[in-house]
Amino acid sequence: MELFRLEHKKLWRKNSTRICVLLCVFYCVVFGSFMIYQWITYGSTDNFSSHNFDGYENIRNCQAYSQKYGVLTDESLQEWVTDFKSLYAQLRDERKTQGAENPETVYRVNNSDMYTINGWLKTLYPELERADMLGVTVMSDYVETEKLTGIYERREKAIDTFLEISGQTGAERDYLLRINERVKGPFSWKWTDGWSNVLGNAVSGLGTILALFLAVVLSALFAGEWHDNTSALLLTTRNGWKKLATAKILTGFAFTLELFSMVAAGMIILQLVYLGTEGWDMPIQMVKMIAIAPMNMLQAEIYEYAFTLLGALGFAGVVMLFSALSKNHVLALLLSMAVAYGPMAVKNNVPVVLQQAFDLLPLVGSGADVFRTNTFHLFGHYIWSPYLIIWVPLLIGVLCLKPAVKGWARRMKG
């Protein structure tokens, strides 16, 4: 335990560790959360392009606008579309009569959650979408309100169609539909755009950033001993390389946990400050209608954070393996980055089987799979991908540990 404490202290003493942590926290919390909430994404816009530095207040207004709809039913959806149409008509009228939109009207249109709800309409009522209006206006501006009926039946049909188009038929389809059966309506309806960003971008994208900083810090964990020329000292001590290797592995995992916790805590605090807890109990279907997971927003967020943490721990195991096998920490860094960013870069251009295999690699897959209908076919059974991609990366990391210790011992003994 003492050795672990000191090894951990040694890691944190390094300037490179401190700089990496600072940059990672700054990027994820300050740039990726604070700036997004306060300015880049949620700052109000009164001209459809630039944003003001008033995200906090603007989010409150957005939340207030959506609150009145309460529950998603045919009636509430029609009510929203009617409201939107009148708002949009006002905007068009202003453009025509005054030559420009009234900033106040633009502001209200933008606060109406229109991007998410247009997504619903396109998914659930594809036949009502007009090709001639593409690029001219949004669907909720021209859609015939009275035709927006049977929303939950429409959702079931949309899932069916999607599975068919995706080639997911037979037993796979039945399996996915069984999962979907646990999704119960009617859905609670609050402002969704905030949750959409949290679950679709912020948390699910966290792994990509963590991979970089974990690789930089942990690639020197074992390989750094060669740089410091300490192998002769280590090998002649009672605890030798064996207990030190264990202390290093624990340090690697502890650091991963700490870095993750710092970033996650910062992001969650800012999320609570800006979005509050409103809408936590909305089903994730409010972000993506054809999602089949019986989860609410909070559960999905917990899943995504857990996915990132377990992926990060798995990735830490992989980095430590490279660090232990290489005498050069730069080489260990390059190999670690190649393992994460290589598959990420080519993922979309390889056959589906390979894509699925890549998804199992630490930090390569995405926690946002809870919104998808991906499955793995193993030993005659279908497994919904989020069940598998959350554990396999950790398993890969754990499996790396034994060869890491063995490899390091072999190298140390020269």
Partner 1 sequence: MELSIDRLTKQYGRKIAVDCVSTVLKPGVYGLLGENGAGKTTLMRMLCAILEATAGEVFLDGKEICALGAEYRDLLGYLPQDFGYYPNYTAKEFLLYMAALKGIPREEAEKRTDELLEVVSLKEAASKKVKTFSGGMKQRVGIAQALLNQPKILILDEPTAGLDPKERVRFRNLISDYAAGRIVILSTHIVSDIEAIADKVLLMRGGKLVSQGTVPELTKEAEGKVWELSVSKMEAKAWQEKAAVANLRHEGEQVVLRILADNKPAEEAMPCETTLEDLYLYSMRGNK
- Interface residues toward partner 1, by CB under 8 A: 2-3, 5-7, 9-10, 13-15, 225, 228-240, 243-244, 413-414
Measured at the CA of 44, the angle between CA 25 and CA 143, to 5 degrees, comes to 115
Cα torsion for 383, 387, 389, 393, to the nearest 10°?
A: -120
Q: Count CA atoms within 13 Å of residue 172 on its CB side.
A: 17
Whose Cβ is closer to partner 1: residue 7's or residue 113's?
A: 7
Write down the least CB distance from residue 412 to partner 1, Å: 8
Query: Whose CA is closest to 117, among 20, 200, 196, 15?
Result: 196
Write down the least CB distance from residue 1 to partner 1, Å: 9
Write down the least CB distance from residue 253 to partner 1, Å: 19
Residue 11 CB coordination number (10 Å): 21
Whose Cβ is closer to partner 1: residue 49's or residue 229's?
A: 229
Cβ proximity of 40 and 51 under 8 Å: yes
Residues 271 and 246: their CA atoms lie apart, in Å, by 37
CA distances from 414 to 84, 231, 322, 329, 408 (A): 73, 10, 17, 17, 10
Residues 222 and 320: their CA atoms lie apart, in Å, by 7
Cβ proximity of 386 and 369 under 8 Å: yes
The whole-angstrom distance between residue 184's C-alpha and the CA centroid of its chain comes to: 24
3-state secondary structure of 333: helix
Write down the least CB distance from residue 401 to partner 1, Å: 20
Whose Cβ is closer to partner 1: residue 13's or residue 184's?
A: 13
Write down the least CB distance from residue 174 to partner 1, Å: 58
Write down the least CB distance from residue 400 to partner 1, Å: 24
Residue 120 corresponds to which tokens in the numbers above?
């619903």
Whose Cβ is closer to partner 1: residue 184's or residue 238's?
A: 238
Cβ proximity of 223 and 359 under 8 Å: no
3-state secondary structure of 187: strand
Whose Cβ is closer to partner 1: residue 15's or residue 97's?
A: 15
Whose Cβ is closer to partner 1: residue 97's or residue 229's?
A: 229
Whose Cβ is closer to partner 1: residue 95's or residue 406's?
A: 406
Write down the least CB distance from residue 403 to partner 1, Å: 21
Query: Whose CA is closest to 155, among 177, 130, 132?
Result: 177
Write down the least CB distance from residue 16 to partner 1, Å: 10
Helices (H), 127-239: 139-142, 151-165, 170-180, 193-197, 206-218, 220-228, 231-235
Whose Cβ is closer to partner 1: residue 99's or residue 414's?
A: 414
